[in-house]
């Protein structure tokens, strides 16, 4: 029989397959979902959203959920999930969710094997999962996501405001600071180091080496370099700096809206004051002394490789 169900205004109270519904109070407009084996307990202060079902055990200590649902958990019980305002709390496969506090609008993603710990001050974005270990020391993420890391733990990621911090295939993410709205792309083998002051554009990946000394990129991405490291790329405002097939990019400054195309064999030198047009490549030698090109495209890229990365 149904017992002690009070203060349900407009929504339905769902059924329970075997037991009875108990201690469900102050549900205003949303539904209270069912539990297949046990009884629903201690579910309070749900205003407009649903409390989803739990496959085997009983839901306990879920408080202060305002508009979003509390998602289900496969085998264990949901514990100590507090102060979730508008977003759902996602499920965990094997363990229990602990110490997840101050999540306002976004969901807290699951962890495949362990438990989520020390995740604080996440306002609107998601905290993504870690395949093997636990998430630690991720603080002050405001609106963007903290992407996952395949084998190790995420450390020292601070002051990410709206953009994502992408994953690293083998190592750990270190010393990534002051990224405001753009993404920091991944690096397959090594670790990301010394990437500072990237405002709105992403820093693209490097296949073999590490990204160093990339500063003052405002709105455009810094494209990748196939074998070596990116050095001395400064003052790129809106357009990307394309890659160089064999060597390193040097002395590329003051590119405002157009792209600096690649060089098939050598290095790019002495390219200044390009405003709106592209500086095309030279198939055999190096580009030199190309200055103050404003609106006219110099050459045409027959290989059409710019932009595929």
Strands (E), the chain: 24-25, 43-44, 176-177, 195-196, 271-272, 290-291
Q: What is the pLDDT of residue 156?
A: 31
Distance in angstroms (rounded) separating the CA atoms of residues 126 and 294: 43
Q: What is the pLDDT of residue 206?
A: 30
- Domain of 259 in residue numbering reads as 230-300
Q: What is the pLDDT of residue 257?
A: 34
Distance in angstroms (rounded) separating the CA atoms of residues 292 and 289: 10
Q: What is the pLDDT of residue 297?
A: 29
Residue with tokens 């733990």: 153
Is residue 236 one of the residues assigned to a domain?
yes
Using DSSP's 3-state secondary structure scheme, residue 175 falls into coil
Q: What is the pLDDT of residue 111?
A: 31
Q: What is the pLDDT of residue 114?
A: 28
Contact by Cβ (8 Å): 275, 295 = yes
Is residue 288 one of the residues assigned to a domain?
yes
Contact by Cβ (8 Å): 97, 117 = no
Q: From its phi and psi, is residue 178 left (phi > 0), alpha (psi between -120 and 50) or beta?
A: left
What are 88-93's contacts with CB under 8 Å, separation 24+? 92/116
Is residue 199 one of the residues assigned to a domain?
no
Is residue 235 one of the residues assigned to a domain?
yes
What tokens does 130 get? 């870690």
Is residue 251 one of the residues assigned to a domain?
yes
Contact by Cβ (8 Å): 74, 55 = yes
pLDDT per residue as tens digits for the range 62-101: 333 333 333 333 222 333 333 232 233 333 222 333 333 3
Say how many domains are in the chain: 1
Q: Please, what's the b/e burial string for 215-230 (b: 16 or more CB within 10 A of its CB; e: otherwise)?
A: eebeebbbbbbeeeeb
Q: What is the pLDDT of residue 118?
A: 32
Q: What is the pLDDT of residue 96?
A: 31
Distance in angstroms (rounded) separating the CA atoms of residues 188 and 232: 22
pLDDT along the chain (309 residues), means of 10: 34 36 39 38 37 34 32 30 32 30 34 32 36 32 35 32 35 34 35 34 34 32 34 33 35 36 36 39 35 30 27
Distance in angstroms (rounded) separating the CA atoms of residues 128 and 237: 31
Vertex 204 angle, CA 118 and 263, to 5° = 165
Q: What is the pLDDT of residue 205?
A: 33
Is residue 86 one of the residues assigned to a domain?
no
List, in order, residues 6 or more apart from 51 with CB less than 8 Å away.
30, 31, 32, 33, 40, 43, 59, 62, 65, 69, 70
Burial class (CB in 10 A: 0-12, 13-18, 19+), 303: exposed
Is residue 244 one of the residues assigned to a domain?
yes
Is residue 32 one of the residues assigned to a domain?
no
Q: What is the pLDDT of residue 54?
A: 32
């Amino acid at each position: 029989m149904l017992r002690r169900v009070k203060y349900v205004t407009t929504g339905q109270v769902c059924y329970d397959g075997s037991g009875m519904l108990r201690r469900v109070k102050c549900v205003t407009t949303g539904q209270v979902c069912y539990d297949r084996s046990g009884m629903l307990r201690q579910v309070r202060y749900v205003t407009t959203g649903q409390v989803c079902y739990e496959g085997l055990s009983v839901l306990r200590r879920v408080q202060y959920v305002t508009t979003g649902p509390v998602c289900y958990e496969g085998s264990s019980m949901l514990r100590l999930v507090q102060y979730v305002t508008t977003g759902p709390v996602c499920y965990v496969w094997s363990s229990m969710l602990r110490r997840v506090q101050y999540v306002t609008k976004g969901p807290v993603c699951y962890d495949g094997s362990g438990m989520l710990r020390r995740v604080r001050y996440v306002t609107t974005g998601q905290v993504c999962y870690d395949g093997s270990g636990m998430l630690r020391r991720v603080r002050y993420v405001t609106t963007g996501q903290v992407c996952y890391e395949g084998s190790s733990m995420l450390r020292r990621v601070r002051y990410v405001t709206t953009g994502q911090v992408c994953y690293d295939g083998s190592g750990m993410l270190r010393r990534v600071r002051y990224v405001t709205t753009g993404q920091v792309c991944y690096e397959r083998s090594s670790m990301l180091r010394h990437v500072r002051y990237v405002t709105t554009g992403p820093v693209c990946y490097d296949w073999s080496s590490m990204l160093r000394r990339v500063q003052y990129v405002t709105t455009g991405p810094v494209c990748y370099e196939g074998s070596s490291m990116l050095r001395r790329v400064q003052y790129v405002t809106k357009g990307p700096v394309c890659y160089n097939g064999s060597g390193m990019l040097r002395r590329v400054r003051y590119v405002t809206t157009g792209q600096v195309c690649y060089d098939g064999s050598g290095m790019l030198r002495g390219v200044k004051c390009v405003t709106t047009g592209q500086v095309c490549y030279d198939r055999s030698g190096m580009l030199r002394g190309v200055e103050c090109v404003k609106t006219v495209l110099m050459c045409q890229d027959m290989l059409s490789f710019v932009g595929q990365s």
